[in-house]
Structure 1
Amino acid sequence: MIVTVTLNTSVDRVLAVPNFQVGSHTKGALVGTLPAGKGVNVSRCLSTLGYASRATGFVGEADERLFVESFVDTKVKPSFVTVSGATRLDTTVLDHVGRTETHIREEGFEVKARDLARLGRKLDELVSPGDLVVFCGSLPPGVTAAAFRELLGACKAQGAKAAVDSSGLALASAIKDGVFLVKPNLDEMSTLAGKRLSLWAEACVAADRLLNKVDVILVSLGPEGVLGVTREGCWRARCRVPQRDVVSTVGCGDALLAGYLADHVEGEPPSECLRLAVACGAACALTPLAGVIRMSDVRRFTREARVWAV
């Protein structure tokens, strides 16, 4: 079973505003409002791909029902821990005329020590030996790197594998303690390497040095695809999406991770996991809401994706 953990959930609000200009008064249309956060997005994509998952993490006490109801008739089993305060609101403004995306991210709740203790107990209930626990997103106020390491360690102590898609101290801590998978982008990989990496080949060499602590390193290259580095080798995968077809890039990395995990649990080799990964990331770019993909797009992009050893 895959368990996603989103410590800093959000409610995503997407507006369509043609010819959007800062400082002006203009009309827009609400595209949609959806419970989100990186792990939530991963669970939603996994469900579309036909895979069950459990979704946990923190949500503001007033928003629990919104999150739970969003997973009705899906393969996601929500089991969140409520905290005082509001879940942060993330607003995306899409301008299809100017071909721009503007993101406004609010700060939400602060996590208390008692909340962390409750989440620890929740993970004890949800996680079983052999599970894959995926920690996604930033650390909210109140969650230190030390607390994050404790959560990771508790899952590993139960015989689960841990994957981390985060940044900063959370990412560094995960690598230091050893996990199954991490998914840094090129900038984050540069920080880990201690030098600026401008080429994917440099990132491949830097990622290879982490294999004594991590089994799989996925280095996100944005529209240029992803690098996958394991002890079996290094691959690059890419799926081209014409710029005119891109609706929103929010959540594409989460969809990519979901695709990789889906094929991994089926026992597919890394190269095939990467193929589905970039197909899901490309499919997400065609929709306005994070973590929303269509299987028709996934199937098409799976056929079009390129994967090659480097």
Structure 2
Amino acid sequence: MKKSVLTITLNPSVDKSTSVQNIVPEKKLRCDTPKYEAGGGGINVSRALKRLGISSNSLFTAGGKTGNMLEVLLKQEELDITAIPISSETRENFIVVDTTSNQQYRFGFPGEAFTAEEKENILGTVDQLNPIPDFVVISGSLPKDVPADFIGLLVNKYKAKGSKVIVDTSGDALKVALEEGVYLLKPNAGELAALVGKEELASTDLDHAAQQIIAQGQAVLVVVSLGAQGAVLYSAAEKIQMVPPLVKIRSTVGAGDSMVAGMVSILAREGTVEELLRMGIACGSATTMAEGTALFQKKDVDRLYDEVRKL
């Protein structure tokens, strides 16, 4: 029996992507027809999970015309959604590819702060959701001026309910989540270094930092993303490192979220940690093959899954 999954996105977006030939300053640039897609960490995880045959409930904030568009886009993908209304406008992100150089330019806008009433509404909605999810994925950034402690409140609430919490965020929010303790943590090497108070980590230091987090009870699994070099999974009992096959990278938008979705899909099916890491890398790599803000195609994941190498 598949486990239930909830994703939480506190700072969602509508991602607008286009392409143009030869980006230069002071010139009117004729862009191609834009494409609009739902964005934000947890939302992307839910979108990717659906492609992997795993249903989830996607909880997110939504406000204004952009928030309405976000809900429409997600309904078109037939996702199960819980939209929490807010007074401010949902943010947009803007992505442009220069077709001359194939370079991608990504412009991210901040989300507006929540009011005190909106914070209470979010926490109240969390309390009332039924049934209690087996896994909760809290992913993405926080809106401007929302304190990192808010992530801690969410982690604490779901741990008290018996859910296993997966966190993919950064900065102070990541530190707070770790203080509460999570089931799975997915930092990159730089984020892991910051968590242990270092500027950077050598490979042996990487091992020590991840194992220290597990020994302190702050995470059960730590998966360190190494970009093109793959990823390393740490648990109390083992270390597994895998590398992806070479692929033609068109965009890195959504690759980290896709990796999280791949790992969660294995957790939901009660697979092994080796399968978890392999699927995560396959999904992340497959998304880099897609253009603009698009996520992976399932056929690419299936092919890459068998090509991921264990070191």
> What is the TM-score with the length of structure 2 in the denominator?
0.92
**Cα offset, 1:127, TM superposition:** 5.3
* Shift in alpha-carbon separation, 1:63–1:274, aligned structure 2, 3 A: same
Counterpart of 1:204 (choices 207, 226, 232) is 207
Q: 2:153 — aligned with what?
A: 150
Q: For residue 219 of structure 2, what is the aligned residue in structure 1?
A: 214
Question: Partner letter of residue 239 of structure 2?
Answer: C
Shift of 1:267: 1.5
2:91 alignment partner, one of 80, 88, 91:
88
Please tell me whether the aligned partners of residues 84 and 109 of structure 1 are also in contact (alpha carbons under 8 angstroms): no
The answer as to 2:174 corresponding to 1:174 is no
8 Å CA contact retained: 1:284, 1:291? yes
> Do the aligned partners of 1:204 and 1:227 also contact (CA within 8 Å) in 2?
no
Name whichever of 61-70 and 229-238 sits farther off: 61-70
Matched AA of 1:112? T
1:49 corresponds, among 47, 52, 59, to 52
Distance between the aligned counterparts of 1:183 and 1:127, measured in 2? 27
Q: Secondary structure at the match of 2:75?
A: coil
d(CA) in 1 for partners of 2:206 and 2:294?
27
1:164 equivalent in alignment to 2:191? no
103, 113, 131: which one pairs with 1:100? 103
Percent identity, aligned pairs only? 28
C-alpha distance in structure 1 between counterparts of 2:26 and 2:209, whole Å: 43
| Alignment match, 2:302 | 299
Name the amino acid aligned to 1:49: L
Rounded to whole Å, the distance in 2 between the matches of 1:148 and 1:85 is 20
CA distance in 2, matches of 1:193, 1:251: 26
Q: Which amino acid aligns with 2:236?
A: R
Q: CA deviation at 1:202?
A: 2.6
Aligned length, in residue pairs:
306
Cα distance in 2 for residues equivalent to 1:174 and 1:141: 18
Assess if the C-alpha contact under 8 Å between 2:6 and 2:133 holds in 1. no
Contact 1:128 1:159 (8 Å CA) reproduced = no
1:1-310 paired onto structure 2 within 5 Å: 1-72=4-75, 74=77, 76-126=79-129, 128-129=131-132, 131-211=134-214, 212-242=217-247, 245-290=248-293, 292-308=295-311
Partner Cα distance (2:184, 2:116) in 1:
27
- 1:260 to partner: Cα distance: 0.6
Distance, in Å, in 2 between the alignment partners of 1:30 and 1:225 is: 34
- Is there any run of 5+ residues in structure 2 with no aligned partner, and where? none
1:213 is matched by which residue type in structure 2?
Answer: Q
Residues 21-46 of structure 1 deviation map (CA, whole Å, 9 limit, x = unaligned): 34443222134111210110000000
Once residues 67 and 10 of structure 1 are traced to their aligned partners in structure 2, the CA distance between those partners, rounded to angstroms, is: 7
Of stretches 225-234 and 44-53 in structure 1, the one that deviates more from structure 2 is 225-234
Q: Match for 1:296: what amino acid?
A: K
Is the 1:10–1:87 contact (alpha carbons within 8 Å) kept by the matching residues of 2?
yes
Query: Structure 1 197/246 Cα, relative in aligned 2: closer, same or farther at 3 Å?
Result: same
Per-residue deviation at 1:196? 3.0
The AA in structure 2 aligned to 1:161 is K
